A = this chain, B = another copy of it.
Amino acid sequence: MSDQPVEAFEPPYYVAVFSTVRTEEQAGYPETNARMEEIVRDIPGFLGMDHAQNPGGLGISVAYFRDAESLTQWRTHTEHRAAQQRGREQWYESYTLHVGKVERSHSFKRA
């Protein structure tokens, strides 16, 4: 989550797009979110992540993984499973997850 978008990686790799609208019940969210970031960064094959948030509105998190196995490891991590459950019970008004295999990518950076 730096000020620059993560780079373009060498395809193929995996992308998980997680778009959310949150509720007003955000108790515990910041701590859990920080913990989830720690966990995902320790997953072998995790490549990077970007996040953007409209103030009071839609948020988009995009995480990149080397292969399907690393993404499965993230999806099924015990603490992540618990956070997903709590998210549905408390933090999220709505969300959509799209998981895809990246075929093409490129980056631009001003000289």
Q: Inside 8 A of A7's CB, which chain B residues have their CB? A: 96
Query: A92-111 toward B: CB 8 Å interface, digit per residue (1/0)?
Result: 11111111111111111110
- A1-26: contact bitstring with B at CB < 8 Å (1 yes, 0 no)? 00111111000001101011101000
Of B23, B53, B96, which is within 8 A of A6 by CB?
A: B96
C-alpha gap A54/B64 in the complex (Å):
20
Chain A residues 9 to 63 lying within 8 A of chain B, measured CB to CB, are: 14-15, 17, 19-21, 23, 50-55, 57-60, 62
What's the interface size class on A, roughly? 35 or more
Number of copies of this kind of chain in the complex:
2
Give the secondary structure class of A's interface: strand
Residues of chain B lying within 8 A (CB to CB) of residue A100 = 14-15, 100-103
Are the C-beta atoms of A5 and B23 separated by less than 8 Å? Answer: no
* A81 on interface, CB distance cutoff 8 Å: no
**Cβ of A86 under 8 Å from chain B:** no
Q: Tell me the minimal C-beta distance from A54 to chain B in angstroms.
A: 5
